[in-house]
């Protein structure tokens, strides 16, 4: 039998991940078997194990396909399409635009929305999925560390004293964003995630003492007055 090329192997991997996304969304992670995924992808069970160690490994790979591009937005330098005109934006502007861009991707990209729905509504942290729980905790810690560092940097840049510790401020912002996403996924018709998200982030950061002179404040129905 001819040896599979890297391109063929990559195509099979993506078919398996695509199948997993749709099956997990339709029937939940625990009720979906690797055989189900292989069958939907038109592959064999052996092909699943060639690419993934187990269901948790497959689940984490599915998450990384969409979350890694979002996570990278907190690392890259200013680019022409992120809405910032200043070639060296301050740290709080970077927090704001990175989080808003993440919300925008969830709203506009069907695959991202589907994967986040699976991650928030369709998974149980049972024994076979402990690796999924550990990845979730690792990603959360990475987000909190980056936000905390950015808030500390921004406070130093603006000579501000935060009303709470940067660690507590980062925890609060994470809870705000996470709660907005989860509630919107339950009923996307209930509110505009991008508009409400921008307003909520503005209010939160203003509450921390940061000035709110951002273009996105115009999205709010009643823009807050300047500090």
Q: Which residue reads 């729980």 in tokens?
A: 133
Q: What is the pLDDT of residues 213-226, one digit of tens each?
A: 555 455 554 544 55
* Residue 116 neighbours by CB under 8 Å, 6+ apart: 66, 106, 181, 185
Using the predicted structure, report yes or no on whether residue 86 has a pLDDT greater than 60. Answer: no
Task: Dig out the tokens for 75 from the structure.
Answer: 């690392």
The predicted model gives 181-196 an average pLDDT of 95
pTM here is 0.81
Which band of pLDDT confidence, cut at 50, 70 and 90, is reported for residue 79?
A: very low
Q: What is the pLDDT of residue 85?
A: 45
Task: Give 159's Cβ-side CA count (13 Å radius).
Answer: 0
Structure tokens at 140: 């959360």
Give tens-digit pLDDT for 91-137. Answer: 888 888 888 889 999 999 999 999 999 999 999 998 889 999 999 99
For residue 89, what pLDDT band results from cuts at 50, 70 and 90? Answer: low
> By three-state DSSP, how is residue 147 classified?
helix
Which domains can be identified in the chain, with CATH numbers? 1-52 (1.10.10.60), 54-219 (1.10.357.10)
What is the pLDDT, as a whole number, of residue 5?
A: 85
Asked if 187 and 54 count as a contact pair (C-beta separation under 8 A), the reply is: no
**Mean of the pLDDT values across residues 136-148?**
92
pLDDT of residue 98: 87
């Amino acid at each position: 039998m001819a040896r599979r090329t890297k391109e063929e192997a990559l195509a099979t991997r993506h078919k398996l991940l695509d199948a997993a996304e749709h099956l997990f969304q339709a029937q939940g992670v625990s009720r979906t078997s690797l055989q189900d995924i292989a069958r939907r992808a038109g592959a064999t069970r052996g092909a699943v194990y060639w690419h993934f160690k187990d269901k948790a490994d497959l689940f984490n790979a599915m998450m990384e396909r969409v979350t890694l591009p979002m996570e990278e937005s907190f690392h890259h330098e200013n680019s022409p399409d992120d809405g910032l005109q200043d070639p060296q934006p301050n740290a709080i502007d970077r927090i704001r635009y990175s989080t808003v861009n993440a919300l925008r991707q969830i709203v506009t990209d069907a695959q991202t929305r589907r994967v986040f729905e699976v991650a928030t509504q369709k998974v149980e942290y049972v024994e076979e999925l402990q690796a999924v729980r550990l990845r979730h905790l690792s990603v959360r810690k990475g987000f909190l560390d980056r936000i905390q560092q950015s808030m500390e940097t921004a406070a130093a840049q603006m000579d501000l004293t935060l009303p709470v510790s940067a660690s507590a401020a980062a925890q609060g912002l994470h809870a705000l964003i996470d709660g907005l996403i989860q509630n919107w996924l339950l009923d996307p018709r209930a509110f505009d995630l991008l508009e409400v998200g921008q307003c909520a982030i503005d209010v939160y950061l203003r509450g921390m003492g940061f000035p709110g002179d951002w273009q996105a404040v115009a999205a709010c129905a009643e823009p807050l007055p300047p500090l």
